[in-house]
Amino acid sequence: MNVTITVNGEKTSHEVEDRTLLVHYLRDAAGLTATNIGCDTSTCGSCTVLLGGESVKSCTVLAAQADGEEVRTVEGLAGDDGEMDAVQKAFQQNHALQCGFCTPGMVMAATSLLKENPDPTEDEVRWALKGNLCRCTGYHNIVQAVLAAAEGTR
């Protein structure tokens, strides 16, 4: 089937099998490899993207379900000049990554949280990120980065 998805502001159209997951569409068809495949069972959150502005685990969504929709990946957060957005900067400044595997999903989940709640408490950040796993157990710095991003966007 032919699927047309606006990814990071650019309309993409590709022929895919009807069972193609959104994460595979993004990586294989659209060539955006920052969205990681960690578990294929919606357990780890490394594939988190924004679909229609909502945070979703792209391993649980068929590309066909995203047909005609807008998807934003971590590659689409930076400005046109390449400058990182507030969440990306906060992750860098607060050392909120170790191996980096979970980082794209964490950044997207944090972006979604801050869109819905621009002034979260630490408990609200932890709750919002509970579906994203960090294999290096860097949660403290990740939470601090999200709080710093919230502070920086106020």
pLDDT digits (tens, 9 = 90+) for 4-30: 999 999 999 999 999 999 999 999 999
Q: What is the mean pLDDT of the chain?
A: 95
Q: Is residue 118 part of a domain?
A: yes
What's the distance, CA 55 to chain centroid?
7
Quick one: three-class SS letters along the chain? CEEEEEECCEEEEEECCCCCEHHHHHHHHCCCCCCCCCCCCCCCCCCEEEECCEEEEHHHCEHHHHCCCEEECHHHCCCCCCCCCHHHHHHHHCCCCCCCCCHHHHHHHHHHHHHHCCCCCHHHHHHHCCCCCCCCCCHHHHHHHHHHHHHHHC
The structure's pTM equals 0.94
| Residue that finishes a domain, picked among 46, 73, 100 | 73
Q: Is residue 78 part of a domain?
A: no
End-to-end CA distance of the chain: 44
- The reply to whether 49 and 110 lie within a common domain is no
Q: Is residue 79 part of a domain?
A: no
> Containing domain of residue 50, as a range?
2-73
Q: Is residue 81 part of a domain?
A: no
Tell me how many domains the chain contains.
Answer: 2
pLDDT band at residue 3 under the 50/70/90 scheme: very high
- The reply to whether 65 and 97 lie within a common domain is no
Residue 138 is predicted with a pLDDT of 82
pLDDT band at residue 40 under the 50/70/90 scheme: confident
